[in-house]
């Protein structure tokens, strides 16, 4: 924020660190010092002068904000005493103190409660400095509201102390980014409306990581009909392209069931490619994608994937021959009644169950054509109703463990970093980054964010991955996250910001400032 004042000006840097005035003349500098010196020399005109650190006021201003309150309190700094004096003189509450449960010692008011707790006047700067000392300093640990409040109540008292501590901790820039959330996930369940006919809406996904089969395949394309729950398992290779995927889909699905009205999938590069989108645009098929890092959007296919993997594990002793048994596993899956529709996918698609060895001795009853059509339509209508009931039940039970949240366009939010590949240790990296502005709410639980142009990730996120950002409105300088000059910007899928966003010495932080 100071760059605009320093660029093009002759700057004098005064420091109580005497050796810094000889920085330019040092013959041996480490790589970090060289990078900083190169950055300063190429951007600013400055000179460094030494000033003895004997002036308390100047010395206090030169310290990090997180240590300022500790210095004031521990050393009974005259500045802190002055704030108390000013607060008492301007707070009308203390003008007539005869009726108050307080006592005075050396100009400081104490609460008469058997303890030596100081009654702090109504002076915002003073109160925020005291909260800062028990929350922000290295001896405090950035704990939550309860522990911060108890630490403060050991020595101080003022009305509405709880509210002030809550507001201060909620707006702490360090806590908002570094702490994980222990609350219920946000965003109520929004089930997809079931279609009215078979193979109108389909979901699809790839199962990868399988051993190389007899035909050289090591993956499976899984396609599920949303109404009948019928599935098709199509073996393929992990290296399959968008064009090959389209041909496989047409030969497996379209030739048997026709063109779907909508295809629901995740954001696999093959599904978001221009070829894939142009192909289905020609057929009038709408492509619906899950939000970034939220596979629950296509929960039906994800669950089917688990079932298919389980079938392979339990029915294929020779893991390399999974391709040979896959057609029979598909048949087995489609012949089992669905717990949602109470009918097998075969019956809802064709109006009859397939012949299996156990059914060969059962006498066939061929219904009249009109009765056949009516029964099939009744079964499908019943399936739609049962799917809606199942969705309502899932919504009710799922929402017991979720919190409703309302986000609006223009709001600032923080983004969860758990799915971002960063060049930082997983255990110690910030839990959230940002803030980012919401461009629009795509759905009640999906927000489109304004991300930096060089972030190669999708900009639509489920609200469970977002945290409302609380701006800091305090009157004091708060401790901030300082970009680490040693962090490389070559993070996969999340490159660092450019020079205008905190680049120092050719390196950059992956987090906006």
Residue 21 within any structural domain of the chain:
yes
Angstrom distance (rounded) from CA 496 to CA 329: 47
130 and 272 belong to one structural domain: no
Give residues with Cβ within 8 angstroms of 323, minimum separation 6. 213, 214, 215, 217, 235
**Rounded alpha-carbon distances, angstroms, from residue 341 to 227, 353, 375, 412:** 9, 14, 15, 43
Q: What is the pLDDT of residue 499?
A: 32
Both 62 and 47 in one domain: the answer is no
Is residue 215, in this structure, part of any structural domain at all? yes
CA atoms within a 13 Å half-sphere pointing along the CA-CB vector of 78: 3
Residue 183 token pair: 């609350």
Q: Are residues 50 and 80 in the same domain?
A: no
Could you list the pLDDT tens digit for every one of the 513 residues in the chain? 677 778 888 889 888 888 888 888 888 888 888 888 888 888 888 888 988 876 555 454 454 443 344 334 433 555 666 777 778 778 777 766 555 666 677 677 777 666 678 888 888 888 888 888 888 877 778 888 899 999 888 888 888 899 999 999 988 888 888 887 777 777 666 666 777 888 999 988 888 888 888 888 999 999 999 888 889 999 999 999 999 999 999 999 999 999 999 998 888 889 889 999 999 999 999 998 877 665 665 566 677 778 888 888 877 778 788 888 888 888 888 888 877 777 888 888 887 777 766 654 555 555 555 665 566 666 656 666 666 666 667 667 666 767 777 888 988 999 888 877 777 777 777 888 888 999 988 888 888 898 888 787 888 888 888 888 988 877 776 665 544 333 333 333 443 333 333 333 333 333 333
Peptide bond just before 435 cis, omega within 30 deg: yes
Residue where a domain stops, chosen among 54, 72, 90: 54
Q: Do 248 and 355 belong to one domain?
A: yes
Q: Domain holding 95: CATH number?
A: 1.10.340
Same domain, 255 and 360: yes
Do 219 and 325 fall within a single domain? yes
Indicate if 328 and 450 belong to the same structural domain: no
Does residue 441 fall inside a structural domain?
Answer: yes
Burial status of residue 494 (CB atoms within 10 A of its CB: 0-12, 13-18, 19 or more): buried
Domain holding 461, by residue range, is 412-501
Q: CA triplet 194, 197, 203: central angle to 5 degrees?
A: 55
| Counted domains in the chain | 4
- Are residues 368 and 239 part of one domain? yes
Task: For residues 68 and 154, state if they share a domain.
Answer: yes
Domain end residue (candidates: 359, 375, 398): 398
Assess contact for 512 and 206: CB atoms under 8 A.
no
- 73 is a domain residue: yes
Domain identity same for 274 and 376: yes
pLDDT at 513: 34
Tell whether 82 is covered by a domain.
yes
273 exposure class (CB count in 10 Å sphere: 0-12, 13-18, 19+): middle
Give the domain CATH number at 368. 3.30.420.10
Task: Establish if 97 belongs to a structural domain.
Answer: yes
- Residue 353 has a CB neighbour count (10 Å cut-off) of 14
pLDDT at 249: 94
**Do 363 and 427 lie in a common domain?**
no
pLDDT at 490: 35
For residue 477, report the phi and psi dihedrals to the nearest 5 degrees: -80, 120
Q: Is 455 a member of any domain? A: yes
Q: Are strands 201-207 and 219-225 parallel, antiparallel or unpaired?
A: antiparallel
Residues 92, 41: one domain?
no
Q: From 398, 432, 452, give the residue that closes a domain.
A: 398
Note whether residue 244 is domain-resident.
yes
């Amino acid at each position: 924020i100071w760059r605009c004042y320093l660029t093009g000006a002759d700057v004098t840097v005064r420091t109580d660190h005497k050796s810094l005035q000889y920085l330019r003349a040092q013959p041996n500098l480490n790589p970090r010092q060289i990078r900083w010196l190169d950055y300063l020399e190429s951007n600013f005109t400055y000179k460094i002068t030494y000033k003895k650190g004997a002036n308390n006021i100047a010395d206090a201003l030169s310290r990090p904000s997180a240590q300022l309150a500790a210095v004031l309190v521990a050393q009974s700094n005259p500045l802190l005493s002055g704030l108390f004096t000013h607060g008492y003189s301007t707070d009308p509450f203390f003008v007539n103190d005869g009726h108050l449960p307080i006592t005075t010692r050396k100009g400081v008011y104490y609460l008469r409660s058997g303890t030596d707790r100081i009654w702090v006047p109504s002076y915002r700067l003073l109160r925020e400095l005291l909260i800062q000392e028990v929350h922000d300093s290295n001896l405090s640990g950035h704990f939550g509201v309860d522990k911060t409040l108890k630490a403060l109540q050991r020595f101080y008292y003022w009305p509405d102390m709880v509210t002030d501590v809550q507001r201060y901790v909620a707006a702490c820039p360090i806590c908002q980014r570094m702490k994980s959330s222990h609350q219920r996930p946000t965003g109520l369940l929004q089930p997809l409306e079931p279609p009215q006919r078979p193979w109108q809406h389909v979901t699809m996904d790839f199962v990868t990581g399988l051993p190389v089969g007899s035909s050289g395949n090591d993956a499976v394309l899984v396609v599920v009909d949303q109404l009948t729950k019928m599935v098709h398992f199509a073996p393929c290779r992990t290296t399959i392209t968008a064009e090959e995927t389209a041909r496989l889909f047409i030969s497996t699905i379209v030739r048997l069931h026709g063109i779907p009205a909508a295809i629901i999938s995740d954001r696999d590069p093959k599904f978001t490619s221009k070829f894939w989108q142009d192909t289905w645009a020609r057929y009038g098929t709408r492509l619906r994608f899950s939000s970034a890092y939220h596979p629950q959007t296509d929960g039906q296919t994800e669950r089917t994937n688990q079932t298919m993997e389980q079938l392979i594990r339990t029915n294929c002793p020779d893991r390399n021959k999974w391709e040979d048994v896959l057609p029979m596993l598909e048949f087995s899956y489609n012949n089992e009644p669905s717990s949602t529709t109470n009918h097998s996918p075969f019956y809802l698609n064709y109006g009859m169950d397939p012949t299996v060895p156990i059914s060969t001795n059962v006498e066939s009853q061929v219904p009249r054509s009109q009765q056949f059509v009516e029964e099939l339509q009744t079964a499908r209508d019943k399936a739609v109703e049962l799917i809606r009931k199942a969705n309502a039940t899932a919504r009710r039970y799922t929402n017991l463990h979720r919190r409703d949240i309302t986000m609006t366009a223009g709001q600032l939010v923080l983004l969860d970093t758990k799915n971002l590949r960063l060049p930082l240790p997983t255990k110690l990296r910030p839990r959230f980054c940002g803030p980012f502005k919401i461009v629009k709410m795509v759905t009640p639980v999906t927000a489109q964010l304004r991300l930096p142009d060089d972030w190669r990730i999708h900009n639509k996120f489920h609200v469970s991955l977002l945290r409302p950002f609380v701006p800091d409105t305090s009157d004091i300088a708060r401790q901030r996250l300082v970009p680490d000059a040693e962090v490389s910007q070559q993070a996969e899928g999340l490159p660092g910001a450019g020079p205008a966003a905190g680049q120092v010495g050719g390196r950059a932080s992956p987090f906006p400032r």
